[in-house]
């Protein structure tokens, strides 16, 4: 087998494991099932990953790479400028590229975070840290109001974003459209722009003004 074929087989096995882990949970998936989904022999799965723990490590590394690439795409202040101008198309393209329809990444993330798996908390913490960094950078560039408590503001924004991702299947049934793809994404995004307008500075308010200033302390009010 050539090195190219070998790498392709390894990726197929990893992707099969990701799909099955997302569908059933890691504890209920066997190495043989993964081999069958990837259309390779169980021996080849063992050759590449050694064990199911090794497969989990490969899946998680793939997930981390996906997260890093997504943040690289969104960290540019040009994304914030597009949001300020209400130009969702470029941001929507980023999301559609990052989350192709049918991707098992979202259901796998949902399972990790909803099951109480410590890895879910670890990934959420990394995601939050990067979001705070982006908010702070955008605030310094005058493209977003990070507010007096950027950590909590980032957590609130993430709760909204993750809620969209994790509840997308339910929203399709409730709303009658897909909030993550096609025309449904555009419709969802239009309202999201209005929803997030409070943290997008305008030429009238500037980045230094904030609608969520902290209340005065008890000493100040006394």
pLDDT (mean) for 1-28: 82
Q: Which domains does the chain have, with CATH numbers?
A: 1-59 (1.10.10.60), 75-210 (no CATH)
| DSSP states of 12-34 | HHHHHHHHHHHHH-GGG--HHHH
212 confidence band (pLDDT: 50, 70, 90): very low
Which pLDDT does position 171 carry in this prediction?
A: 92
6 confidence band (pLDDT: 50, 70, 90): low
89 confidence band (pLDDT: 50, 70, 90): very low
Which pLDDT does position 93 carry in this prediction?
A: 53
pLDDT (mean) for 79-90: 54
How far is it, in rounded angstroms, from Cα 156 to Cα 79?
19
pLDDT (mean) for 137-150: 86
186 burial type by CB count under 10 A (0-12 exposed, 13-18 middle, 19+ buried):
middle
Q: Choose the weakest-confidence range: 30-39, 66-75, 126-135, 162-171.
A: 66-75
Contact between 143 and 208 (Cβ < 8 Å): no
Contact between 120 and 113 (Cβ < 8 Å): yes
pLDDT (mean) for 34-57: 94
Closest CA to 186 of 71, 96, 59: 96
Q: Phi then psi for 180, rounded to 5 degrees?
A: -110, -5
Which pLDDT does position 202 carry in this prediction?
A: 62
Q: Is the pLDDT of residue 87 over 70?
A: no
Can you state the percent helix, strand and coil of the chain, rounding each to 5? 75, 0, 25
CB atoms within 10 A of CB 21: 24
pLDDT (mean) for 105-120: 88
Q: State percent of the chain over pLDDT 70.
A: 73
Which pLDDT does position 207 carry in this prediction?
A: 41
Q: Is the pLDDT of residue 15 over 60?
A: yes
């Amino acid at each position: 087998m050539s090195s190219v074929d070998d790498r392709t087989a390894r990726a197929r096995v990893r992707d099969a494991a990701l799909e099955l882990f997302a569908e059933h949970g890691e504890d209920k998936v066997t190495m043989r099932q993964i081999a069958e989904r990837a259309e390779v022999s169980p021996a080849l799965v063992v050759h590449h990953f050694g064990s199911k723990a090794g497969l989990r490590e490969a899946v998680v590394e793939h997930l981390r790479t996906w997260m890093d690439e997504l943040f690289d795409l969104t960290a540019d202040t040009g994304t914030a400028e597009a949001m300020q101008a209400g130009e969702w198309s470029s941001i929507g393209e980023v999301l559609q590229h990052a989350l192709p329809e049918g991707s098992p990444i979202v259901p796998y993330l949902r399972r990790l975070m909803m099951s109480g798996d410590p890895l879910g908390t670890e990934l959420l913490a990394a995601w939050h840290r990067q979001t705070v960094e982006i908010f702070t950078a955008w605030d310094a560039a005058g493209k977003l109001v990070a507010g007096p408590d950027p950590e909590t503001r980032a957590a609130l924004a993430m709760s909204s974003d993750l809620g969209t991702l994790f509840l997308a299947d339910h929203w399709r049934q409730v709303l009658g459209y897909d909030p993550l793809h096609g025309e449904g994404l555009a419709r969802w995004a239009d309202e999201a722009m209005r929803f997030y307008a409070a943290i997008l500075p305008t030429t009238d308010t500037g980045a230094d003004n904030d609608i969520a200033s902290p209340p005065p302390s008890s000493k100040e009010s006394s």
